[in-house]
Amino acid sequence: MNKMVKKQSRKKLFENIKALLHEARKVVARNINTAMVMTYFEIGRMIVEHEQKGAKRAVYAKETLKLLSQKLTDEFGRGYSVDNLELMRKSYIVYSKSETPSRKSEFQKTQTMSAESDQPDSQIVQTVPAKPSADQKSETVSQISPITFQLSWSHYVFLMRLPEAERKFYEIEAVKQNWSLRELERQFNSSLYERLALSRDKKKVRELSEKGQVLAMPQDAIKEPYVLEFLGLKEEITYSENDLESAIITRIEHFMLELGKGFLFAGRQVRFSFDEDHYYVDLVFYNRLLKCFVLIDLKIGKLKHQDLGQMQMYVNYYDRYVKAEDENKTIGIILCKDKNKALVEITLPKDNEQIFAKKYQLYLPSKEELKKQLEE
């Protein structure tokens, strides 16, 4: 028995040390990424300041980057091509003006320090301090710039090419949800920003670029269309609702990323009964941010008013018999291939905040089409 206890104790010790080392590696990787981005940002600053002192001609700038690239490559090896130096230059131009929440704490620190002086408010925030004089001691990159970065350089290379509002939104979400570069690209290609913006008024659209996606009410969790290209189902091939459900379960992690923040999976084909009749909800989730159950019904055909009535019954049942007193009202989402907007509006109450019929599609949407709808 003692041998068994010792064995379990050694195993626990190993697991604890292993977890510590994995976490340490993550911290080291994050620090390396941060140092790299900060260094490239500072290189960009130096290049821009050098250009401002010289002739502001494209030929001059191009020649400077070419000569700089050759010298840096000879000294440090690969990674300092003209294209890469241009990206570093751009990173300074873009992010020296930026004030997204991922860097908010540093800006607040700068404001607090400056507010103690007699400077007017317009001079309180300085995103990049003045270049130190020759007699000042050299400073490390982390000390020079008050701006901090929480993503990898590859993330920022991708983000820099986006319009400002979208760039800020995707950066906030990538930091909050710890998106990999691949997931960031997927969310962008699925037009997440446009799909969320289409279901919001102008004020809410502005909030997307300032705060990211904030879940305060049921409508905040809704988007249209839901993009399910990761399921691998083809539009032209016949499939059943059971096939769709099975594909979602197989790729449940991807589906939950598509649903958005705060979703926890509770079950599939969840049964409830009353008056000796049995009913089954296709997919049941719980949203910890909204503190409510979210029921999802899948429809591969055209949406009918009976489908809306059925979801209303599901929601009523959960509200009366399942949810706790301190939880919010249940949300019902019908994911359908096609819907009639007028039918939805006439079937559901005017003050409806619980039942949503939203389209899904099995291919990435056209960003141009969605942007056109957004402008309209």
Instruction: State whether 344 and 239 are in the same domain.
Output: yes
Instruction: Look at residues 169, 7, 55 and name the one whose alpha carbon lies nearest to residue 102.
Output: 169
Specify the pLDDT at position 119: 39
Tell me the whole-structure pTM to 2 decimals: 0.67
Check pLDDT > 50 for residue 59: yes
Q: Do 225 and 369 have their domain in common?
A: yes
19 within some domain: yes
Domain identity same for 201 and 237: no
**Domain range holding 169?**
162-214
pLDDT given at position 141: 44
Q: Per residue, what are the HEC states of the chain?
A: CHHHHHHHHHHHHHHHHHHHHHHHHHHHHHHHHHHHHHHHHHHHHHHHHHHHHCCCCHHHHHHHHHHHHHHHHHHHCCCCCHHHHHHHHHHHHHHCCCCCHHHHHHHHHHHHHHHCCCCCHHHCCCCCCCCCCCCCCCCCHHHHCCCCCCCCHHHHHHHCCCCHHHHHHHHHHHHHCCCCHHHHHHHHHCCHHHHHHCCCCHHHHHHHHHHCCCCCCHHHHCCCCEECHHHCCCCCCCCCHHHHHHHHHHCHHHHHHHHCCCEEEEEEEEEEEECCEEEEEEEEEEECCCCEEEEEEEEEEECCHHHHHHHHHHHHHHHHHHCCCCCCCCEEEEEEEECCHHHHHHHCCCCCCCEEEEEEECCCCCHHHHHHHHHC
Among the listed ranges 85-94, 144-153, 174-183, which one has the minimum average pLDDT value?
Answer: 144-153
The structure tokens listed for 109 are 């620190």
What confidence score (pLDDT) does residue 110 get? 34
Cα pseudo-dihedral 137, 143, 145, 151, rounded to 10: 150
Residues contacting 266, CB < 8 A, separation 6+: 284, 285, 286, 293
Q: Are 91 and 161 within 8 A, CB to CB?
A: no
254 and 363 in a single domain? The answer is: yes
Verify that 203 and 277 share a domain, yes or no.
no
pLDDT, average across residues 68-72: 91
Based on the fold, state whether residues 265 and 227 are members of the same structural domain. Answer: yes
The letter for the amino acid at 3 is: K
355 lies in some domain: yes
343 shares its domain with 274:
yes
| Residue 144: pLDDT over 50 | no
Tokens describing residue 350 = 């005017």
Closest CA to 225 of 122, 97, 364: 364
pLDDT of residue 109: 39
pLDDT at residue 129, as a whole number: 39
Same domain, 207 and 233: no
In this prediction, residues 140-147 reach a mean pLDDT of 48
Judgement on whether residues 249 and 287 belong to the same structural domain of the protein: yes
In a domain, 364, yes or no: yes
Please state, in angstroms and rounded to a whole number, the distance separating the CA atoms of residues 165 and 172.
Answer: 11
Q: Indicate whether 64 belongs to any domain.
A: yes
- Look at residues 57, 76, 104 and tell me which one is the last residue of a structural domain: 104
Give a yes or no: residue 123 inside a domain: no
CA distance 93 to 95: 6
Judgement on whether residues 99 and 207 belong to the same structural domain of the protein: no
For 98, what's the count of Cα atoms within 13 Å in the CB-facing half-sphere? 28
Strand pairing report for 331-338 and 355-361:
parallel
Number of domains within the chain: 3
Q: Which of 28-32, 188-192, 252-256, 297-301 has the lowest mean pLDDT?
A: 28-32
Once rounded to an integer, what is the mean pLDDT over residues 164-178?
91
| Per-residue pLDDT tens over the stretch 234-272 | 877 789 999 999 999 999 999 999 999 999 999 999 999
- In this predicted structure, the answer to whether residue 341 has a pLDDT above a threshold of 60 is yes
Q: Could you tell me if 210 and 168 are in contact, meaning their C-beta atoms sit under 8 angstroms apart? A: yes
Calculate mean pLDDT across residues 191-215.
81
For residue 50, what pLDDT is reported? 83
230 band by pLDDT with thresholds 50, 70 and 90: very high
Residue 312 lies in a domain: yes
54 falls in which pLDDT band (50, 70, 90)?
low
| Mean pLDDT score, 309-322 | 95
264 with 363, same domain? yes
Once rounded to an integer, what is the mean pLDDT over residues 285-306? 94
Q: How far apart are CA 37 and CA 153, in angstroms?
A: 5
Confidence check: pLDDT of 108 > 70: no
Place of tokens 């990435």: 364
Higher pLDDT, 40 or 199: 40
pLDDT at 248: 96
Q: Is 35 within the bounds of a domain? A: yes
- Average of per-residue pLDDT across 161-182: 92
Backbone angles phi, psi at 98, to 5 degrees: -85, 150
Dihedral sign for Cα 356, 359, 364, 370, please: negative
User: What pLDDT does residue 130 have?
Assistant: 41
What is the Cα–Cα distance from 24 to 254, expressed in whole angstroms? 28
pLDDT of residue 275: 82
